[in-house]
Amino acid sequence: MSTSEIARHFPIESQSSDRDKAFLLSAMRLMGDVAPGYDYLEIGSFLGGSLAPFLVDPACASILSIDERGKTLPDERGALFDYAGITTQSMLDRLHQAGLATAKLTTYDGPIDTMALPERRYDLAFIDGEHTDQACFRDFLWALPMMEPNAAVLFHDSSLIYKAIRLIALYLRKEGRSFAFLKHRDSEMSAVFLGRFAQLDLGRYFEAGEDRDEFYAASEVTVLEHSIRNRVRSGSGAEPLGSFTIDPPKAVKAYY
Ligand SMILES: C[S@@+](CC[C@H](N)C(=O)[O-])C[C@H]1O[C@@H](n2cnc3c(N)ncnc32)[C@H](O)[C@@H]1O
Protein backbone atom coordinates (compact mmCIF):
# COMPACT_ATOMS: atom_id res chain seq x y z
CA MET A 1 0.00 0.00 0.00
CA SER A 2 1.43 3.39 -0.99
CA THR A 3 2.28 6.13 1.53
CA SER A 4 -0.32 8.45 0.01
CA GLU A 5 -3.03 5.78 0.26
CA ILE A 6 -2.17 5.26 3.93
CA ALA A 7 -2.19 9.03 4.53
CA ARG A 8 -5.65 9.23 2.94
CA HIS A 9 -7.03 6.68 5.45
CA PHE A 10 -5.30 8.35 8.40
CA PRO A 11 -5.90 12.11 8.16
CA ILE A 12 -5.21 12.64 11.88
CA GLU A 13 -1.76 12.42 13.44
CA SER A 14 -1.34 9.01 15.00
CA GLN A 15 1.43 7.58 17.14
CA SER A 16 2.07 4.73 14.73
CA SER A 17 4.24 3.95 11.70
CA ASP A 18 3.03 3.41 8.13
CA ARG A 19 3.50 -0.37 8.55
CA ASP A 20 1.40 -0.27 11.74
CA LYS A 21 -1.30 1.64 9.87
CA ALA A 22 -1.17 -0.77 6.91
CA PHE A 23 -1.73 -3.68 9.34
CA LEU A 24 -4.76 -1.90 10.82
CA LEU A 25 -6.14 -1.39 7.31
CA SER A 26 -5.61 -5.10 6.52
CA ALA A 27 -7.58 -6.00 9.65
CA MET A 28 -10.31 -3.60 8.54
CA ARG A 29 -10.43 -5.27 5.11
CA LEU A 30 -10.64 -8.71 6.75
CA MET A 31 -13.60 -7.54 8.87
CA GLY A 32 -15.38 -6.12 5.83
CA ASP A 33 -15.11 -9.55 4.15
CA VAL A 34 -15.83 -11.93 7.03
CA ALA A 35 -18.01 -9.82 9.36
CA PRO A 36 -19.69 -7.06 7.31
CA GLY A 37 -21.57 -4.71 9.62
CA TYR A 38 -18.83 -5.34 12.20
CA ASP A 39 -18.48 -3.47 15.50
CA TYR A 40 -15.12 -1.98 16.54
CA LEU A 41 -13.81 -1.47 20.08
CA GLU A 42 -10.78 0.74 20.69
CA ILE A 43 -8.95 1.10 23.98
CA GLY A 44 -6.76 4.23 23.88
CA SER A 45 -7.78 6.70 21.16
CA PHE A 46 -5.82 9.89 21.93
CA LEU A 47 -6.81 12.33 19.11
CA GLY A 48 -8.68 9.70 17.10
CA GLY A 49 -5.87 8.82 14.66
CA SER A 50 -6.57 5.09 14.69
CA LEU A 51 -10.36 5.63 14.79
CA ALA A 52 -10.43 7.63 11.55
CA PRO A 53 -10.42 4.75 8.99
CA PHE A 54 -13.19 2.94 10.89
CA LEU A 55 -15.37 6.06 10.96
CA VAL A 56 -15.40 6.10 7.16
CA ASP A 57 -15.55 2.33 6.56
CA PRO A 58 -19.16 1.59 5.47
CA ALA A 59 -18.76 -2.02 6.69
CA CYS A 60 -18.17 -0.77 10.26
CA ALA A 61 -21.52 -0.36 12.02
CA SER A 62 -20.47 1.04 15.39
CA ILE A 63 -17.42 2.10 17.37
CA LEU A 64 -16.81 2.23 21.11
CA SER A 65 -13.74 4.23 22.17
CA ILE A 66 -12.57 3.70 25.75
CA ASP A 67 -9.93 6.13 27.01
CA GLU A 68 -8.93 7.08 30.51
CA ARG A 69 -8.20 10.71 29.69
CA GLY A 70 -5.81 13.25 31.15
CA LYS A 71 -3.42 10.86 32.86
CA THR A 72 0.32 10.59 33.12
CA LEU A 73 0.90 6.99 32.17
CA PRO A 74 3.48 4.55 33.39
CA ASP A 75 5.11 2.58 30.60
CA GLU A 76 7.38 -0.47 30.34
CA ARG A 77 10.08 1.84 28.90
CA GLY A 78 10.63 3.25 32.40
CA ALA A 79 9.32 6.75 31.60
CA LEU A 80 6.01 8.47 32.36
CA PHE A 81 3.99 9.67 29.38
CA ASP A 82 1.85 12.73 30.00
CA TYR A 83 -1.52 12.86 28.18
CA ALA A 84 -2.91 15.74 30.29
CA GLY A 85 -4.99 18.28 28.38
CA ILE A 86 -6.37 15.92 25.71
CA THR A 87 -10.06 15.36 26.40
CA THR A 88 -12.79 13.45 24.58
CA GLN A 89 -13.95 16.83 23.26
CA SER A 90 -10.42 17.51 21.88
CA MET A 91 -10.68 14.22 19.99
CA LEU A 92 -14.19 14.94 18.66
CA ASP A 93 -13.10 18.45 17.56
CA ARG A 94 -10.07 16.98 15.78
CA LEU A 95 -12.23 14.36 14.02
CA HIS A 96 -14.79 16.97 12.92
CA GLN A 97 -12.00 19.29 11.75
CA ALA A 98 -10.85 16.44 9.48
CA GLY A 99 -14.40 16.24 8.09
CA LEU A 100 -15.22 12.90 9.76
CA ALA A 101 -18.77 12.16 10.92
CA THR A 102 -18.92 10.68 14.40
CA ALA A 103 -22.55 9.48 14.52
CA LYS A 104 -21.54 5.81 14.98
CA LEU A 105 -18.99 6.63 17.70
CA THR A 106 -19.65 6.17 21.44
CA THR A 107 -17.02 7.15 23.99
CA TYR A 108 -16.29 6.09 27.55
CA ASP A 109 -13.90 8.11 29.74
CA GLY A 110 -12.23 5.75 32.14
CA PRO A 111 -10.51 2.39 32.38
CA ILE A 112 -12.36 -0.60 30.91
CA ASP A 113 -12.62 -2.35 34.29
CA THR A 114 -14.94 0.41 35.58
CA MET A 115 -17.41 0.02 32.73
CA ALA A 116 -20.63 -2.00 32.81
CA LEU A 117 -20.66 -4.84 30.29
CA PRO A 118 -22.35 -3.41 27.16
CA GLU A 119 -25.02 -5.43 25.35
CA ARG A 120 -23.22 -5.18 22.02
CA ARG A 121 -20.54 -7.71 21.12
CA TYR A 122 -17.52 -6.52 19.13
CA ASP A 123 -15.84 -8.22 16.16
CA LEU A 124 -12.59 -6.28 16.28
CA ALA A 125 -10.73 -4.65 19.18
CA PHE A 126 -7.56 -2.56 19.22
CA ILE A 127 -5.70 -2.26 22.52
CA ASP A 128 -3.49 0.85 22.59
CA GLY A 129 -3.96 2.37 26.06
CA GLU A 130 -1.45 2.22 28.90
CA HIS A 131 1.67 0.40 27.75
CA THR A 132 2.37 -1.69 30.78
CA ASP A 133 1.98 -5.46 30.83
CA GLN A 134 -0.47 -5.27 33.72
CA ALA A 135 -2.73 -2.66 32.06
CA CYS A 136 -2.66 -4.43 28.68
CA PHE A 137 -3.50 -7.78 30.28
CA ARG A 138 -6.33 -6.11 32.20
CA ASP A 139 -7.64 -4.43 29.03
CA PHE A 140 -7.67 -7.81 27.26
CA LEU A 141 -9.35 -9.65 30.17
CA TRP A 142 -12.13 -7.06 30.34
CA ALA A 143 -12.48 -6.75 26.56
CA LEU A 144 -12.80 -10.51 26.02
CA PRO A 145 -16.39 -10.83 27.33
CA MET A 146 -17.32 -7.88 25.09
CA MET A 147 -16.12 -9.75 21.99
CA GLU A 148 -17.96 -12.07 19.61
CA PRO A 149 -16.73 -15.70 19.83
CA ASN A 150 -15.18 -15.21 16.38
CA ALA A 151 -13.21 -11.99 16.69
CA ALA A 152 -9.79 -10.37 16.45
CA VAL A 153 -7.92 -8.35 19.07
CA LEU A 154 -5.05 -6.15 17.87
CA PHE A 155 -2.23 -4.75 20.00
CA HIS A 156 -0.03 -1.74 19.42
CA ASP A 157 3.46 -1.29 20.90
CA SER A 158 3.67 -5.07 21.00
CA SER A 159 7.35 -5.16 21.90
CA LEU A 160 6.67 -3.07 25.03
CA ILE A 161 3.81 -5.26 26.27
CA TYR A 162 5.17 -8.60 25.05
CA LYS A 163 4.79 -10.13 28.53
CA ALA A 164 1.07 -9.28 28.49
CA ILE A 165 0.85 -11.03 25.10
CA ARG A 166 2.61 -14.11 26.56
CA LEU A 167 0.12 -14.15 29.45
CA ILE A 168 -2.81 -13.71 27.07
CA ALA A 169 -1.64 -16.69 24.97
CA LEU A 170 -1.26 -18.74 28.17
CA TYR A 171 -4.70 -17.73 29.41
CA LEU A 172 -6.39 -18.58 26.09
CA ARG A 173 -4.65 -21.99 26.02
CA LYS A 174 -5.73 -22.69 29.62
CA GLU A 175 -9.32 -21.72 28.69
CA GLY A 176 -9.18 -24.15 25.75
CA ARG A 177 -9.96 -21.33 23.30
CA SER A 178 -9.03 -21.74 19.68
CA PHE A 179 -6.75 -18.84 18.70
CA ALA A 180 -3.94 -17.80 16.36
CA PHE A 181 -1.30 -15.17 17.11
CA LEU A 182 0.31 -12.97 14.48
CA LYS A 183 3.16 -10.48 15.00
CA HIS A 184 3.58 -8.12 12.06
CA ARG A 185 7.24 -8.00 10.97
CA ASP A 186 9.05 -4.62 11.32
CA SER A 187 6.05 -3.09 13.02
CA GLU A 188 4.62 -2.71 16.51
CA MET A 189 1.33 -4.40 15.60
CA SER A 190 0.23 -7.90 16.56
CA ALA A 191 -3.09 -9.71 16.70
CA VAL A 192 -4.90 -12.57 18.34
CA PHE A 193 -7.56 -14.22 16.17
CA LEU A 194 -10.24 -16.01 18.16
CA GLY A 195 -12.62 -18.85 17.36
CA ARG A 196 -13.25 -19.46 13.65
CA PHE A 197 -11.13 -16.42 12.76
CA ALA A 198 -8.09 -18.49 13.82
CA GLN A 199 -8.82 -20.87 10.93
CA LEU A 200 -9.16 -18.17 8.26
CA ASP A 201 -6.62 -17.95 5.46
CA LEU A 202 -4.93 -14.96 7.13
CA GLY A 203 -2.25 -14.92 4.40
CA ARG A 204 -4.85 -13.35 2.09
CA TYR A 205 -4.80 -10.23 4.29
CA PHE A 206 -1.50 -10.20 6.20
CA GLU A 207 2.15 -10.87 5.41
CA ALA A 208 3.73 -13.91 7.10
CA GLY A 209 4.30 -13.05 10.77
CA GLU A 210 7.48 -12.89 12.80
CA ASP A 211 8.58 -16.00 14.70
CA ARG A 212 6.94 -15.76 18.12
CA ASP A 213 10.01 -16.72 20.18
CA GLU A 214 12.24 -14.36 18.22
CA PHE A 215 9.71 -11.59 18.83
CA TYR A 216 9.71 -12.29 22.59
CA ALA A 217 13.53 -12.38 22.73
CA ALA A 218 13.96 -9.13 20.75
CA SER A 219 11.26 -7.42 22.82
CA GLU A 220 12.97 -8.33 26.08
CA VAL A 221 16.13 -6.56 24.89
CA THR A 222 14.14 -3.53 23.65
CA VAL A 223 12.38 -3.08 26.98
CA LEU A 224 15.62 -3.54 28.95
CA GLU A 225 17.44 -1.05 26.74
CA HIS A 226 14.71 1.60 27.15
CA SER A 227 14.55 1.04 30.92
CA ILE A 228 18.31 1.35 31.28
CA ARG A 229 18.43 4.53 29.18
CA ASN A 230 15.48 6.07 31.05
CA ARG A 231 16.33 5.01 34.58
CA VAL A 232 20.06 4.41 34.98
CA ARG A 233 22.57 7.24 35.37
CA SER A 234 26.31 6.85 35.30
CA GLY A 235 28.25 8.24 38.26
CA SER A 236 26.69 10.51 40.86
CA GLY A 237 25.63 13.28 38.45
CA ALA A 238 23.07 13.28 35.71
CA GLU A 239 25.44 12.27 32.94
CA PRO A 240 23.67 10.35 30.23
CA LEU A 241 24.68 6.74 30.01
CA GLY A 242 27.30 5.93 27.39
CA SER A 243 27.21 2.80 25.30
CA PHE A 244 26.43 -0.50 27.00
CA THR A 245 25.87 -4.12 26.04
CA ILE A 246 22.99 -6.34 27.07
CA ASP A 247 24.05 -9.97 27.35
CA PRO A 248 21.75 -12.96 27.21
CA PRO A 249 20.94 -14.27 30.71
CA LYS A 250 23.89 -16.16 32.16
CA ALA A 251 23.58 -19.57 33.75
CA VAL A 252 24.25 -19.40 37.49
CA LYS A 253 24.33 -22.44 39.76
CA ALA A 254 21.19 -22.23 41.90
CA TYR A 255 22.54 -24.33 44.78
CA TYR A 256 25.83 -25.53 46.23
C1 LIG B 1 -0.76 5.77 22.54
S2 LIG B 1 -2.20 6.71 22.83
C3 LIG B 1 -3.35 6.04 21.70
C4 LIG B 1 -3.04 6.38 20.29
C5 LIG B 1 -4.13 6.10 19.28
N6 LIG B 1 -4.58 4.72 19.30
C7 LIG B 1 -3.62 6.46 17.92
O8 LIG B 1 -3.21 5.58 17.15
O9 LIG B 1 -3.62 7.65 17.61
C10 LIG B 1 -2.70 6.10 24.37
C11 LIG B 1 -4.05 6.58 24.85
O12 LIG B 1 -4.44 5.73 25.93
C13 LIG B 1 -5.14 6.50 26.85
N14 LIG B 1 -5.21 5.80 28.14
C15 LIG B 1 -4.48 5.97 29.24
N16 LIG B 1 -4.83 5.11 30.21
C17 LIG B 1 -5.79 4.36 29.70
C18 LIG B 1 -6.58 3.31 30.21
N19 LIG B 1 -6.43 2.86 31.45
N20 LIG B 1 -7.54 2.78 29.40
C21 LIG B 1 -7.71 3.27 28.15
N22 LIG B 1 -6.99 4.25 27.62
C23 LIG B 1 -6.05 4.79 28.38
C24 LIG B 1 -4.43 7.84 26.86
O25 LIG B 1 -5.28 8.85 27.37
C26 LIG B 1 -4.10 8.00 25.38
O27 LIG B 1 -5.14 8.71 24.73
Buried b (16+ CB within 10 A) or exposed e, 192-229: bbbeebbebebeebbbebbebeebbeebbeebeebeee
For the beta carbon of residue 139, count every other beta carbon within 10 angstroms. 25
Question: What average pLDDT does this structure show over 19-30?
Answer: 97
Residue 68 resides in a domain? yes
Helices (H), the chain: 3-9, 18-34, 52-56, 88-97, 133-143, 162-174, 212-231
Name, in order, each residue with C-beta under 8 angstroms of 244's C-beta and a sequence gap of 6 or more.
228
Output the furthest CA–CA distance in the chain (Å, rounded): 69
Over the stretch 232-253, which tens digit does the pLDDT of each residue have? 888 777 777 888 999 998 999 9
Residue to mutate, 40, 128, 142, ligand 1, most ligand atoms under 8 Å from C-beta: 128
Rounded Cα distance, 24 and 154, in Å: 8
Structural domain span for residue 202: 3-210
For ligand 1, whether the C-beta of 88 sits within 6 Å is no
Residue to mutate, 17, 73, 188, ligand 1, most ligand atoms under 8 Å from C-beta: 73
Residue 223 resides in a domain? no
Question: What average pLDDT does this structure show over 211-238?
Answer: 91
- Here the CATH number for the domain that contains residue 130 is 3.40.50.150
Check if the beta carbon of residue 158 is closer than 8 Å to that of residue 62: no
Residue 239 resides in a domain? no
Residue 169: pLDDT band with limits 50, 70, 90: very high
Question: What average pLDDT does this structure show over 161-187?
Answer: 98
Residue 73 resides in a domain? yes
Residue 107's DSSP bridge partners are 65
Percent of the chain with pLDDT over 70: 100
Residue 233 resides in a domain? no
Distance (angstroms) between ligand 1 centre and the Cα of 128 equals: 6
For ligand 1, whether the C-beta of 49 sits within 6 Å is yes
Residue 121 resides in a domain? yes
Distance (angstroms) between ligand 1 centre and the Cα of 247 equals: 33
Report the residue count for the chain. Answer: 256
For ligand 1, whether the C-beta of 11 sits within 6 Å is no
Task: Specify the pTM.
Answer: 0.96
For the beta carbon of residue 4, count every other beta carbon within 10 angstroms. 7
Amino acid identity, position 107: T
Residue 232 resides in a domain? no
- What pLDDT, on a 0 to 100 scale, did the predictor assign at position 238? 73
Number of C-alpha atoms within 13 angstroms, CB side, residue 176? 0
Residue 159 resides in a domain? yes
Q: How many domains does the chain have?
A: 1
Residue 184: pLDDT band with limits 50, 70, 90: very high
For ligand 1, whether the C-beta of 75 sits within 6 Å is no
